[in-house]
A and B are shown apart, each in its own frame.
Chain A
Amino acid sequence: MLVDLAGGWNPMLGRLAWSQIPYDNPILAPLFVAVVIGTIIILGLITYYGKWTYLWKEWLTTVDHKKLGVMYIILGLVMLFRGFIDGLMIRTQQAWAVGTHSSGVFGATHGYLTPFHFGQVYSAHGLIMILLAATPLLVGFMNIIVPIQIGARDMAYPYLNALGLWITAAAGALIMISLFVGDFAHNGWFGYAPIFELQYSPGVGVDYWIWTMELVALGTTLGGINILATIIKMRAPGMSWGRLPIFVWASLSANVIALTSFPALQVALGLVAADRYLGAHFFTAGLGGNLMLYTNLFWIWGHPEVYFVILPAFGMMSEIFPTFSEKPLFGYITMVLASLAIAGVSWLVWLHHFFTMGAGPYVNSAFSVATMLVGIPTGVKVFNWAFTMYRGRLTFNAAMLWAIGALFLLLIGGLTGMMLAVPAINYMVHNSVFVVAHFHSMLLVIVYAIFASVIYWFPKVFGFKLDEFWAKTMFWLFSAGTTLVFVPMYMLGFMGMTRRLDYVFNTAWHPYLLVMEFGIVVYMISVLAFFALLYVSIRDHAKNRVGTDAWGTSRSLEWLTHSPVPFYNFAVLPHISTRDEVAWRRDNGIDHVQPDHYEDIHMPNNTGVAIILGGLTFVLGFALVWRIWWLCILSLLAIMALVIYRSFKGDPGYIITAAELEEMEKDAMRREAQIGKQHYRVGGGVLGDAIAYERSDLPPLASQPGSSVGLDHRS
């Protein structure tokens, strides 16, 4: 052993011992029982209905970008729920443990969580929400939508795509298991030197934190490479850069950020690991180390990361506003430039997270100015959205409501960000809950955009719409929760309440904390509304089926193919003639034109390698946390062997013949034709056709490459 470990170590089990299982913890033990029972029920149900083969064949081994995207989103939603429960626990502790007279239970002097446990909860909350909820949700959407929007059949590297998902899932599993085996870090989601050094945090919590983050970073980098390569190489004929849907541009700029910044995180954490495992001194005060160097390295990644998550959200909003304003996006070029500018500036501002380090006036003012520069492209975007809606034919359905909510939160978050960017103000409010309120406003922009997109793209992926009533109910409840939690938080920030308090000494803050507790209860109800939304929508799915263009006013390429999207995406790759291809085709009455003949398609095979590699990375992470060296070496060797094996084996793929394709297409069209009839009976025929046939002055339809009017399935 290179370092001294508190509490034994043995070659077989490393640091693992019975005493590490918190079976006597009054919160965790019942939870553990519930989780075990839940798992048994789920596994039992799968076995009972004989779904194992289906699950393995259709989902666990799939390389289909849409299914992988759906699994990313499910992972993200599950982690969002876990993070939400953490948030509920934090709020409850702070509403309870106020003032010297507050009671305490479960071994805590005040409230119900001991300081050490509270520290773990807030660290896990932050890490989960940013890296295991927001990031997978966004990656999931990029995964599903980007290839369809550029007219590709799959990602550039389908197998790598699966690998990215399963490594991310391994990270999620690692942080979940830290609940029941050992404990989690108490050093905040971004960590502080030197408290995460072994002397000050001798447990395994920090190790869980390191390896969870390393795994997400790895998974997300792989995903980023894939999306970039897909956008660069796989565009359909005619899809020039100037015609790319705006969400694709947003994904492109976001993933450039991911690709360049995640390595910095991996290095930073690698050095922390060197300190903790090898006895190095990168971030200690002694032997030439430097504490602030950690903070520096972390935020070199950390700030770009916040833009990595907001840019796809901006992209989503840029798709939703035009659709429900029935107008093209205002200022396409400026929107693209703004995305790239935001990505560019995001590398230049990281010091604003530690203005108080004391680098002096020159450094602080330079970074202050750089930070404020971000306001320009962001402002451009906000005005573009506003002008898109200006004099548009607005439909305030649930997706639109969520998107507008995101816009309001962006305004609040952006302006408070500008305030924080002024060093003089920052010295006053740094490490106060004002900062917490700022970045929650920003991250809620993402959450709002994600729920907007869930509603907006759900019919594309599953073929039916979500229930409007419950989607709107959820929106209003969620927004009430947001207001009730974060308005008091801004106020408390100005009153000087610092972040991460496990005990609140100032009783004057109690009313605000109680309002926030009430707010989180309202959030809880909105989560229930979400479950109701899913239940009702799935129950009524037959009523809510949609055709190709679910909203009737959609603009970009994903709405050209069937809903649900067939696994090959497009039977014949579309030729792109303009930006907003679908809107153009609809306006010219050629949106239902079908190809006159089909050709063979080459598709990738499913593979079990990716999920096995994911499992092995989880084992590796677990072994590293507990310092079970033999298991580390074994899993690492297995990973290498499997990667090499797969690289040499390759994947020849398989062929869908033209005849099979035609059969499947006919089926899809038959299904769609039925929906069409239902739809027009119910909807009174306002959608689609009225707009589609307006222009009779256009060239005959047969000029469209590879298509003829004869097969129009609507007629």
Chain B
Amino acid sequence: MSHGHDDPTLHPEVQISTSRGYFLGFAISSILMLVATFLVTSHAVPPFGLLMVISACAGIAIMAQIYFLLHIDISEHNIWNTVALVLFIPLFLITIGLTWWMFSQLYLHTMIMPGMPGMMH
């Protein structure tokens, strides 16, 4: 109850949101998604490059969504946003990182992949 008023639109979390921001966030993520889809379906880039480009697109889309749609920042007003970020970043690293690790180990043991030591034999 630190903000002693009843009108929810006066809360600082709500104040920082603008319709321009929402549209921008929506447009950026849609465009990035379309770009990624186009690159995959057109086979325009070799597999490894494709992987890199899609990951980059996904990364930018996440940033745009966090900033424009979720309004998560590290300002004093929105201390719970910072808490959310502190929770989110490690989880993100855990899920992506551990998945990457376990699957690279799996490929090492079960598949012969281009560019892996298995190719030598």
Contact = CB atoms under 8 A, between A and B. Distances in A.
Partners in one complex: yes
A292 B106 contact: yes
B95 A358 contact: no
Q: Does more than half of chain A's interface fall in helix, strand or loop, or is it mixed?
A: helix
Given A232-B80, A256-B87, A296-B102, A360 B95 contact: no
A292 B94 contact: no
B83 to A, nearest CB: 9
Nearest to B83: A232
A573 B20 CA distance: 41
A347 B90 CA distance: 10
A363 B91 contact: no
Contact of B105 (A232, A260, A363, A602): A363
Contacts of B106: 292, 357-360, 363
B91 A260 contact: yes
Contact of A363 (B6, B87, B102): B102
Contacts of A296: 99, 102-103
Given A357-B106, A358-B110, A363 B101 contact: yes
Contacts of A351: 98, 102
B121 interface: no
B29 to A, nearest CB: 15
B84 to A, nearest CB: 9
A256 B87 CA distance: 9
B5 interface: no
Interface in B70-120: 80, 87-88, 91, 94-95, 98-99, 101-103, 105-106, 108-110
Contacts of B108: 360
Nearest to B51: A288
Contacts of A360: 105-106, 108-109
Contacts of B95: 264, 300, 347
A633 to B, nearest CB: 19
Interface string A321-362: 000000000000000000000000001100100000111101
A475 B108 CA distance: 52
Contacts of B98: 348, 351
Interface in A441-492: none
Interface residues of A, number: 20
A367 B13 CA distance: 39
Interface in B9-53: 47
Given A232-B80, A256-B87, A260-B87, A362 B103 contact: no
B91 A362 contact: no
Interface in A249-291: 256, 260, 264, 288, 290
Nearest to A370: B98
Interface string A494-536: 0000000000000000000000000000000000000000000
B106 to A, nearest CB: 5
A348 B94 CA distance: 7
Contacts of A288: 47
Contact of B109 (A264, A290, A358): A358
A296 B96 CA distance: 11
Contacts of B80: 232
A363 B108 CA distance: 12
B46 to A, nearest CB: 13
B109 A347 contact: no
A587 B99 CA distance: 54
B109 to A, nearest CB: 5
Nearest to B108: A360
A359 B109 contact: yes
A267 to B, nearest CB: 11
23 contacts: A256-B87, A260-B91, A264-B95, A292-B103, A292-B106, A293-B103, A296-B99, A296-B102, A300-B95, A300-B99, A347-B94, A347-B95, A348-B98, A351-B102, A357-B102, A358-B110, A359-B102, A359-B103, A360-B109, A363-B102, A363-B105, A363-B106, A602-B6
Given A293-B103, A347-B94, A358-B110, 18 more contacts: A260-B88, A260-B91, A264-B95, A288-B47, A292-B103, A292-B106, A296-B99, A296-B103, A300-B95, A300-B99, A348-B94, A348-B98, A351-B102, A358-B109, A360-B105, A360-B108, A360-B109, A363-B102
Interface of B: 6, 47, 80, 87-88, 91, 94-95, 98-99, 101-103, 105-106, 108-110
